[in-house]
Structure 1
Amino acid sequence: MIVQNENEDGLEIMDVIEQNKKGTGRHESEHKFVTKCRPNKLFELICELNDEQKKAVEEIGFGGLLHLKLIKEIPRGIVELLIKAFKPTSYMFRAKKIEFLLSKADVHDVFLLSRVGARVQKPMTGNCKVTADDELKVEWRRKFGLESKANPIKLNIVHDRLMSCNESGDDFKKLFVLYSMSIFLAPTTNYTLDLKLLRAVEDVANIKNSDWSLYVFEAVGREICW
């Protein structure tokens, strides 16, 4: 939704974009912020996928990522202004006289992720000391030679494994979804694999039937704080 707004206090994002295109941008940050989103790492991986792997990614509903025009680095000034323009409580972008209400349909339009179906499964909770999710975490850590739950699965290790992988079966599909979510779509703050999504990818045939657009949409509002 585009709404005209008479407020003149909006951010001049397009001006900064044009300055960066011309190499004249000199935006000084007033705040320190950290982004864990790494589009360059996902781009690097996608470039190395073989045809069977690309087909596998399409089969699980993440094929839109294969066609993104990703760049190695987004100018920091633009990132900061976009964050400032976004109101996470209302999912509203405000720039100059225009207000844009973000929705999960926008996430779908950009990434072509599924926007129908059930919510992405969350970890199980209960009174049991050890849940099925805990067992899944142990299993996945062992895949990377880790025994202790204190040892997270680092994304650089996952990246290297995917880069050297020639398979396109279920294990590849699960790992691709976990990696693309953790490094790009809904990045983790500690640069580790998001184990909260293990249940969501366990049934590989059902990955494409989950509402990933909604998951990413909600993650935007939850994780951006200014």
Structure 2
Amino acid sequence: MDLDDDDFEMPSRTSPHFRFRNTPKKKHEEDLVNHTGTEKRPLKRRKTGAHNANRLVIYSEIRKLGQNIGFKCSPHLLFDLLKTLDIDQRKCFDELGFGILLSMPNCRLPKDLTVWLVNHFSWKKQALTVRGRTVPIKLLMKKLLGIPDGPFPVPLPRSKRGKSKCIYPTEEDKEMKDEKGARGLSYKATYESLISTHDPVQFKRSFMLYVLCIYFAPSSGHFINLGYSPVMSNVDLIKDMNWRDHVANVLIEGIREYRDSKAVNVNIHGCVHVLLLIYIDMVKSPILEVPGGCPRVLYVTTDLLDLLDLSDLKSSSCDGPEYGKL
């Protein structure tokens, strides 16, 4: 569409718009009163592009220098749970298809090294890029965790904000929601009820919700995710679901959300433990002797990760630590 000069009408000198444009700011403000004739309201300045640009710079600096980054993936909590189970409960765990994890050692994740690996993960490529290599994670999940990769995908309703939403809540879900403001029970409260449960179906359902909360698919806080309730409605199908891809997808989405976040405090969703399991096998050094065998989660301990965190640290600055010394 062409716009000629004739398409625009110049305001007359009696026009209030013309007068305001050529009137000093103070006189302009004095002429402004509301329709009731009462005292005028203070003028609000509209945010300009420069203001928005400055705000983005501030956010960028916060992220670079002051963003507090964490994660809720806690393999040590899973270890603490597994060692308290009795024979019947351990049998139930094995029937779910996760029995190999009963031999999992205690393992605490070093924060700096974990965050460094997250920052070297491309959610678009779905791969970890370090030491000149790009390693896709989905194909390695079975080798890393030994979890079921059945034919049925794990359905998880999600809202537009990426938060889990339970579409068909049970009476138990409603009770949990009312008690904890839609987030469900805390992992501590669930743990207490879990270890005292001996009904096989109830134990399997509660156990999976707990393990997803603390290890396989943790979110910003240690609260039971009610979005998984429909998945647990038939516990006999759990072993036939593709948990391998689901755990990978939750981590990939969690890292994408972390990259987009401008919050000062942010927790990375997903099982970040797998990034450490990949990286420790990439480091070839006589200092670090990692036993062979699969799944890898059975052979990587707290002591090994602490040694890796200490020995592989190349430098540390205000921008954060840099690894790759070994």
Which residue in 1 is equivalent to 2:220? 189
| Preserved CA contact (<8 Å) 1:63 1:112 | no
Is 1:68 paired with 2:104?
yes
The amino acid across from 1:222 in the alignment is E
Matched residue SS, 1:94: strand
Q: Deviations over 1:199-225 (max 9, x none)?
A: 111101111111111110100100012
Matched residue SS, 2:212: helix
The amino acid across from 1:209 in the alignment is D
Which residue in 1 is equivalent to 2:268? none
Unmatched tracts of structure 1, length 5 or more: 1-28, 126-131
Q: Distance in 2 between matches of 1:100 and 1:170?
A: 38
Matched residue SS, 2:224: coil
* Bigger Rg over Cα: 2
Alpha-carbon shift at residue 35 of structure 1 (Å)? 0.4
| Preserved CA contact (<8 Å) 1:182 1:192 | yes
* Change in 2 beyond 3 A, CA 1:121/1:65: same
Is 1:37 paired with 2:73?
yes
Which residue in 1 is equivalent to 2:240? 209
RMSD over aligned CA atoms reads 2.6
Is 1:47 paired with 2:78?
no
Q: Distance in 1 between matches of 2:215 and 2:185?
A: 16
Following TM superposition, where does structure 1 have runs of at least 4 consecutive aligned residues deviating by more than 6 angstroms? none
Identity of aligned residues (%): 21
Is 1:139 paired with 2:172?
yes
Matched residue SS, 1:48: coil
Q: Deviations over 1:77-105 (max 9, x none)?
A: 211221122111211111122221211x3
Q: Deviations over 1:36-55 (max 9, x none)?
A: 11222111110101111111
* Change in 2 beyond 3 A, CA 1:33/1:149: closer
Q: Could you state the TM-score of these two structures normalised by the residue count of structure 1?
A: 0.74
Moved more, 111-120 or 149-158: 149-158
Which residue in 2 is equivalent to 1:101? 136
| Preserved CA contact (<8 Å) 2:185 2:223 | yes
The amino acid across from 1:159 in the alignment is Y
Unmatched tracts of structure 2, length 5 or more: 1-64, 160-165, 260-326
Aligned residue pairs, count? 188
Q: Distance in 2 between matches of 1:93 and 1:135?
A: 37
Q: For CA contacts below 8 A with separation 6 or more, give which structure has more relative contact order.
A: 1
Which residue in 2 is equivalent to 1:56? 92
Alpha-carbon shift at residue 148 of structure 1 (Å)? 7.5
The amino acid across from 2:149 in the alignment is R
Matched residue SS, 1:117: coil
Q: Deviations over 1:58-83 (max 9, x none)?
A: 10112132222231x22222112211
The amino acid across from 1:84 in the alignment is N
